[in-house]
Chains A and B, each alone.
Chain A
Amino acid sequence: MNMEERKLAELLHRIAPEPPRPVTVEQVAYRLVTDRQLRPRRSHLGRAPRPRRPGLSRAWAAPAAAAAAVVVIAGASVGIAALASSHHSTPPSGGAPASSTLSTGTVSSSPAQTSASPQSEPGTAIPGAPWDAQLIDHQMFFPDSLVSADGSLYGYGNGTLDRIDPATGAIMNTAQYSPAILNPPVVIGNTVWVVSSYNGGNVVLHGYDASTLAQTSSLLVPAIGGVSTGGQGVLASGPDGNLYVAAGDIVSVVNPASGQVTYRFQVTAGKATSVAVSPDGSRLYVGVGSSTSFKLLVYDVHSHIVVGSSTLTSGAAGGNLVATSGGVWGTTGSGHSEWVWFAPGGNLNRAVQVGRGAGGGFAAYPSYSGGVVWVGGSGDLVCASPATGQVLATADIAADNGAAQYLASPVVAGGQAYSYYQTAASQLTGLARVTPPASCTGAQGS
């Protein structure tokens, strides 16, 4: 270390305060049994394994409602009894957490869900959650990765890309994958595309068979000027069947069948951080921004010229663009909070906030599924018209026993709406089936 490095080291040791309280073994044990991603292999436990659900590649695949367990730490002077389904309190130091308030519910038959799959399993009612939200599985996913296509759900688990059966929440297929940047999977035809690498001068896309998740393609998309490190939504598809990739100072149009870049849109205002294509294929929306500013460029896809440019007045960053017939939707944020805006015609000067958004580091983003735009978060669930941005229905997300709850923006698969659910302390996560009101059925058109 040189002198400067030694001074920095000394500064860090001098200024980093002592923690207000230590971490205890009991807290760690509680975390171990309540977090599905962390649970040990059966060999570390003293009980015969339960049967695994068909097609589920992960251990500990017991249904959510039956996931309760009592944990005893052998050899500890004070053992803990921890209910794995008790998600409403932080683990105590040496004591038992509060009992669960989960109750078993049934599948709703709301008018908005008349096409419910008869195979749908009953879920577990989530206290305080709107739209009759029922937890159907305890898997952990990246909240903003859930998409639907052809009756399946796709999302990112812990180091995996998963295909999920929406009727049961079971993971049907899985592939090893760690997101290189925030971007949900993009499904075109029978291929699920993800960003495998997003760094420096190249973007690598991987394609997986939508049914088996066997990898079928790998595309290298050269970037110009280096890609942005702050991208959110850097890969999108258009109705022309092409992929649109934010690749530094350009947006590349890629034919997924040939793997060839067919056109490069020049982005002169900065590095592209987010892209979306209008449903009719006529407009390309490109977000350009840093952590303190966000500019939205609108390109005419056919003439390739910029036809609109506006800047977010809040002075914050943006991303997660979703294009609909009436304009473009996206995310902005401040601190650990973020919320969704709608810009009619792609004009940020006319942008309005939609929904109350998410706090505590949770993601708020728009999803366009089932004919309407959905916005989730920790404040409320909203469905809105893709043509006008008008809110069609909204419902508060209440705290459960004082603990904040989060429902991600829903997606529709097989006639049902699904949302990723998580409590503020991450002690309960999973896929929830929600039953929105009839006004969210997409009758307003796209």
Chain B
Amino acid sequence: MDTLTGVEHLTEPDGFRNFVQARSSALLRSGWLLTGDWTSAEDLVQTALAAAWPRWPDLRRQDAPEVYVRKIMVNTFLRWRQRRWNGEIATGRLPEPTAYGDVFAQVDARQSLLAALDRLPARQRAVVVLRYFADQTESQTAAAMGCSVGAVKSHAAKALARLRDAPGLSELMTGGVAS
């Protein structure tokens, strides 16, 4: 039984819809790299965008909405990782690939990538996604994660070292799978 007690009017900020339409795909892909499945990625992106909504006018004035959204995404992801099982292994369903030359190789590549990312501690994984997928600078990454540039460099170096030794990934990094 519902009990409606009032009506709240929520005003969509100017430019918010355009941003969501233009950037949700890239944000979702970052979320997928962070979490390893689309359900969690959508949850992450929706949470970050909802957090940005009330501050949208300020963020637009600062010309930094995407930086802020990614910051929320990363911090939410790090908080989730604290709450969830440390030994989790991504076994989520992978979407059907399309338009790839070698479908099976592409799926294998994704699984290898996710398995390698799963082996990284949460902060190293976040640095990899921000630095190398979202193309953020070291200082932007440091600001998003609330740490120093030196810490970002350290996380990145350790992550690269781990990825270098990840089974199947070194071949991919030398261009093993056609897109």
Contact = CB atoms under 8 A, between A and B. Distances in A.
Given A8-B132, A44-B10, A316-B87, A20 B47 contact: no
A13 B133 contact: yes
Interface in B23-60: 24-25, 27-29, 32-33, 38, 41-43, 45-47, 49-51, 53-54
A338 B3 contact: no
A27 B132 contact: no
Nearest to B28: A19
A76 B14 CA distance: 11
Nearest to B57: A44
Interface residues of B, number: 70
Interface stretch (A63-71, A303-311, A341-349, A397-405): A63-71
A363 to B, nearest CB: 7
B38 A12 contact: no
A361 B85 contact: yes
Contacts, number: 210
Interface residues of A, number: 76
Given A22-B25, A23-B24, A363-B83, A44 B12 contact: no
Contacts of B28: 19, 22-23
Nearest to A364: B85
Given A4-B160, A16-B32, A35-B47, A29 B84 contact: no
Interface of B is mostly: helix
B4 A16 contact: no
B7 A47 contact: yes
B12 A73 contact: yes
A66 B1 CA distance: 11
A313 interface: no
A19 B41 contact: yes
29 contacts: A5-B160, A8-B163, A11-B113, A15-B179, A19-B28, A19-B41, A19-B42, A23-B42, A23-B45, A25-B12, A27-B46, A28-B53, A29-B12, A35-B50, A46-B8, A47-B6, A66-B3, A68-B4, A71-B8, A71-B9, A73-B11, A75-B12, A100-B1, A102-B2, A230-B86, A316-B87, A333-B85, A333-B87, A334-B89
